[in-house]
Amino acid sequence: DTAVSQTPKYLVTQMGNDKSIKCEQNLGHDTMYWYKQDSKKFLKIMFSYNNKELIINETVPNRFSPKSPDKAHLNLHINSLELGDSAVYFCASSQEATSSYNEQFFGPGTRLTVL
Amino acid sequence: DQQVKQNSPSLSVQEGRISILNCDYTNSMFDYFLWYKKYPAEGPTFLISISSIKDKNEDGRFTVFLNKSAKHLSLHIVPSQPGDSAVYFCAASLDFNKFYFGSGTKLNVKP
């Protein structure tokens, strides 16, 4: 009955590989997000989708491509992984976030290590 | 160019005493602020929020204070309990869905 789930929890891979992280929420929320927690521990937003439509796309390399097959899922695909992509990636969701402030519910995070 | 900063990476407090976690921001357009709590190997969980039209919001042992002129936010926990030991993130927003987070303060409440 996890509200926001991510798979995998840990991902270790070689430079140059392509990998995906999956996220699912069962809260009935309209908006989903991907955040990256870097080595300095800042949580930085990467993408946000509202009802499967991209609404935030921060300055992220185009090797990162989010995909939202439905409003309960937001997957993150990363091509040609680089050492600097090593981080913890958090998925989050909230109720409709285009006209009011709503708290975000976070998944447990995926620790990506690129060797 | 971090717009939200938590300058204390860690804080240690005795059980029963007050914990005060601080947060500074640079963008005067921010109008909504939140605190999140994070345990190891878990995602952040929402704790308390405050709108810029207020200067204080209270929820049980947790109180958030906002000083807009100083662009400063603080979270008070009183009395502190060992279960409060976690990393606390402050966040700010100006457009409903984009939140800027600080780097967190690790609180240790000693029994």
| Mean pLDDT, residues B101-107 taken together | 96
| pLDDT tops 80 at residue B1 | no
Spatial separation of the C-alpha atoms in residues B65 and B58, rounded to whole Å: 9
Average pLDDT over chain A, rounded to an integer: 91
Q: What is the pLDDT of residues B15-31, one digit of tens each?
A: 999 999 999 999 999 99
CA B98 – CA B19 distance, rounded (Å): 28
Query: Mean pLDDT over residues A73-96, rounded?
Result: 94
CA atoms of B101 and A41, how far apart (whole Å) = 10
Alpha-carbon gap, residue A62 to A48, rounded angstroms: 15
| Dihedral angle, C-alpha B94, B95, B100, B106, nearest 10 ° | 80
Mean pLDDT, range A74-86, rounded to an integer: 96
d(CA A83, CA A73): 27
In sequence order, the 6+-apart residues with CB closer than 8 A to the CB of B9 are B103, B104, B105, B106
Best residue in A44, A88, A104, A105 to probe B by mutation, most B CBs within 10 Å?
A104
Give the 3-state secondary structure of residue B56: strand
Q: Which residue of B has its CA nearest to A98?
A: B96
Q: Using a CB-CB distance cutoff of 8 angstroms, which residues of chain B are in contact with residue A45?
A: 98-100
Whether residue A114 is predicted with pLDDT greater than 90 in this model: the reply is yes
